[in-house]
């Protein structure tokens, strides 16, 4: 299917800067500024929520910024909830860049959503973000009463690098025999951090992911080449035993995404080990399209649809 015309027009007009020749600090600052501008969604028809509040969440090495979204109809007592990890290659993204995704996800699922800004590279290299993911999950379970969430009906979710954290967290908890999420929502997840140069797509130099950006993100976060195959950053390559007993999953993939094939491969591994998994592929969309709700109605609809899948899985709808 052809690339969505609205998305293509936006991407042709708004490109990430050429960061070659810049030092790490200069290039990272420019990338973050560009990503922030492109991800801002000022929408007149943004869904109304009952409450949005900020809070401090315990990370692995100190407090992190969190934001709790409570949709209309969520109810008063503890109910199902979503722990959300934002994308951005472990280098970009924050609470604001993914604010509209969380608003629409909360509305679609009719579940509270806790979004947390974990530590980013290059200031905090591997495994900082993954250590934070564990700490965030443990904190949310300890503070379920504060969050008004039922610890037995929690979903972990994330897009791109955030999907990596969600998938890793499920595997880690499974290995450790600790209480696991009831469901996982993986939005065009990064499930291996080795290479994308073998992907034969005619359109890879998109706004949110390209070969150069993939290498940039990987080298900013992972300093040792041997760590690229570590199951924490490449859960696709985890041992078979790490897939048995994982929570049911729903995966959202994109037709014009160099990560699409490995997303299908991860879903196939889940299914082969008895894990219920569903896939929704948006054939005309690119990696990161859910950040473009300001210009794309299909992106808004896709988040709503993904939220409904989670809401039905957790019994909120």
**Main-chain phi, psi angles of 127, to 5 degrees:** -105, 35
287 included as an active-site residue: yes
Q: Which of 58, 150, 242, 257 is catalytic?
A: 257
Six-digit token pair at 252? 């959202």
Alpha-carbon distance of 180 to 184, in angstroms, equals 10
Active-site residue among 39, 160, 234, 296? 160
Task: Return the ∠ at Cα 293 (arms to 288 and 296), rounded to 5°.
Answer: 95
Q: Is the preceding peptide bond at 122 cis, omega within 30 degrees of 0?
A: yes
Choose, from 117, 130, 282, 287, the residue flagged as catalytic: 287
Q: Can you give the length of the chain in residues?
A: 317
| 257 labelled catalytic | yes
Which residues carry out catalysis? 160, 257, 287
């Amino acid at each position: 299917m052809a690339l969505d015309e609205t998305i293509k027009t936006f991407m042709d007009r708004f490109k990430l800067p050429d960061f070659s020749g810049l030092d790490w600090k200069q290039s990272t600052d420019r990338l973050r500024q560009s990503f922030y501008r492109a991800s801002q969604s000022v929408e007149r028809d943004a869904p109304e929520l009952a409450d949005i509040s900020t809070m401090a969440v315990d990370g692995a090495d100190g407090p992190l910024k969190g934001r709790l979204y409570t949709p209309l109809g969520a109810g008063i007592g503890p109910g199902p909830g979503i722990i959300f990890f934002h994308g951005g290659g472990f280098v970009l993204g924050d609470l604001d860049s993914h604010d509209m995704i969380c608003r629409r996800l909360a509305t679609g699922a009719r579940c509270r959503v806790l979004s947390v800004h974990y530590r980013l590279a290059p200031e905090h290299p591997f495994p900082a973000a993954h250590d934070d993911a564990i700490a965030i999950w443990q904190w949310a379970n300890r503070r379920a009463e504060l969050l008004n969430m039922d610890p037995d009906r929690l979903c972990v979710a994330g897009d791109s690098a955030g999907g990596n954290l969600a998938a890793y967290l499920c595997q880690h908890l499974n290995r450790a025999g600790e209480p696991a999420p009831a469901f996982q929502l993986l939005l065009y997840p990064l499930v291996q951090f080795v290479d994308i140069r073998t992907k034969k797509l005619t359109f890879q130099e998109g706004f949110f992911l390209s070969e150069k950006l993939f290498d940039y993100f990987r080298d900013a976060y992972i300093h040792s080449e041997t760590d690229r195959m570590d199951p924490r950053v490449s859960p696709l390559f985890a041992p078979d035993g790490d897939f048995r007993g994982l929570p049911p999953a729903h995966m959202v993939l994109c037709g014009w995404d160099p990560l699409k094939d490995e997303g299908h491969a991860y879903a196939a591994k889940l299914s082969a080990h008895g894990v219920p998994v569903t896939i929704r592929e948006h054939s005309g969309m690119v990696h990161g399209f859910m950040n473009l709700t300001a210009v794309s109605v299909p992106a808004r609809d896709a988040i709503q649809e993904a939220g409904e899948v989670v809401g039905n899985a957790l019994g909120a709808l």
